[in-house]
Amino acid sequence: MAKARNASDSPGGGIERRKLEHVEIVLNKQVEAREKTTGFELMEFEHCALPEIDFDAIDLSTEFLGHKLQAPLMVTGMTGGYGAAEEINCDIAAAADKEGIAFGVGSMRAIFEQPQLAGTYKVRKVAKNVFLAGNIGGFQLKHFTTDRINRVLSDVGCDALCVHLNPMHEAVQKEGDLDWTGVLDAIRALCRDSKVPIIAKEVGSGISGTLARQLQSVGVKAIDVSGAGGTSWSGGVESYRGGRPQAQLFWDWGIPTAIAVRDVSTAVRVPVIASGGVRNGLESAKAIRLGATLAGAASPFLKAQAKGGEKAVRETISRWKRELRMACFGTGSKDLAALRKARLYKSI
């Protein structure tokens, strides 16, 4: 279990310090959305008082990008690139592997700038079979060749690569990258030459159906909407990091997660990951009912790891799986296919 440190104790390198600050802020500060919600509270399943199914026989398994998962859940990318991140990533990856769900590391930009940090992303030593997604910023694609990216992914053992799109987050950072021209073309080139499937993801502001269609057209194989209503990177995190004054104004910026899931899942044929403020198995069930293939989150599992290491992460995953199973039971759904047809009293 990694011990929390103050940002003042962070490494000297700029990117290492930033990565540590991000984790410390999420663990110790209130950075959740203030006024905006995910929208999942607007949905109510019709309760089935006579389910006629065996609770323990409910099948939560699913397939994602050619990999079989025990449950439709993913711990989405959070960290990497500084010393303590290795323990965090290994604890969470090991728990995800044992529970049969997917796992993603945080931005791998640090590897390209400081190759000696590659070990902070290498989890295969403790999670041989986990579905592992790498992570790189869309902006950075303009500066790294696909050959180099492929080598890094192979070295870490990734099954897919998340390309994160975070323009508002960058806009409020004093050190943010602001020239986003050419990013879609860079994603197209990556999709064409990558050795693994590409997943496009936001970081808390959501993806629209219109953008999702563009991303699908250039070869993206899955989309993580990462909507608004959960951790606010553009407002919350950057406010504590001393970002631009506008960070407060854009604290609640973005498309609520439930709206983004509905919009994207009806616009494209590729799998959709619902993340952004998803905090339990019931909300995961609602996301799947709206069209998501997987439900994902980062901060609940990061906080579990900080409190109790791999054991606490595994307990959190297990609780989410049981809550998801309970939602299936309460709607008379024997599997995820049936859950996707469950009746809603209210919907967005």
What confidence tens digit (pLDDT) does each residue in 270-324 have? 999 999 999 999 999 999 999 999 999 999 999 999 999 999 999 999 999 999 9
Beta bridge partners of 45: 344
Residue with the bigger pLDDT between 348 and 187: it is 187
pLDDT of residue 231: 96
40 in Cβ contact with 257 (< 8 Å): yes
pLDDT of residue 3: 47
List the one residue out of 237, 199, 212 whose CA is nearest residue 65.
199
In degrees and rounded to multiples of 5, residue 27 shows phi and psi of: -75, -35
Q: How would residue 14 be classed by pLDDT, with cut points 50, 70 and 90?
A: confident
What Å distances lie between residue 34 and 147, 232, 249, CA to CA?
42, 9, 11
Region 27-44: what's the mean pLDDT? 96
The CA-CA-CA angle for residues 164, 167, 168, to 5°, reads: 120
pLDDT over threshold 50, residue 9 = no
Residue with the bigger pLDDT between 7 and 324: it is 324
What does the mean pLDDT of the chain come to?
A: 94
pLDDT of residue 348: 66
pLDDT over threshold 90, residue 221 = yes
Region 27-31: what's the mean pLDDT? 96
% pLDDT > 70, the chain: 96
pLDDT over threshold 50, residue 99 = yes
Beta bridge partners of 132: 103
Strand ranges inside the chain, DSSP E = 44-45, 62-64, 67-69, 73-75, 102-104, 132-137, 160-165, 198-202, 222-224, 272-274, 294-297, 344-346
Region 169-191: what's the mean pLDDT? 95
pLDDT of residue 345: 87
Residue 304: which H helix or E strand, with range?
helix 299-330
pLDDT over threshold 70, residue 10 = no
pLDDT of residue 346: 75
Match 């054991």 to its residue by tokens.
311
287 in Cβ contact with 297 (< 8 Å): no
% pLDDT > 90, the chain: 91
Region 65-93: what's the mean pLDDT? 97
- Report the relative pairing of strands 222-224 and 198-202 from DSSP bridges: parallel
pLDDT of residue 180: 97
Q: Which CATH number fits domain 34-346: 3.30.470.10, 3.20.20.70, 2.40.50.140, 1.10.150.20?
A: 3.20.20.70
pLDDT over threshold 80, residue 115 = yes
Q: How would residue 18 be classed by pLDDT, with cut points 50, 70 and 90?
A: confident
Q: Is 129 exposed, middle or buried (0-12, 13-18, 19+ CB in 10 A)?
A: exposed
220 in Cβ contact with 270 (< 8 Å): yes
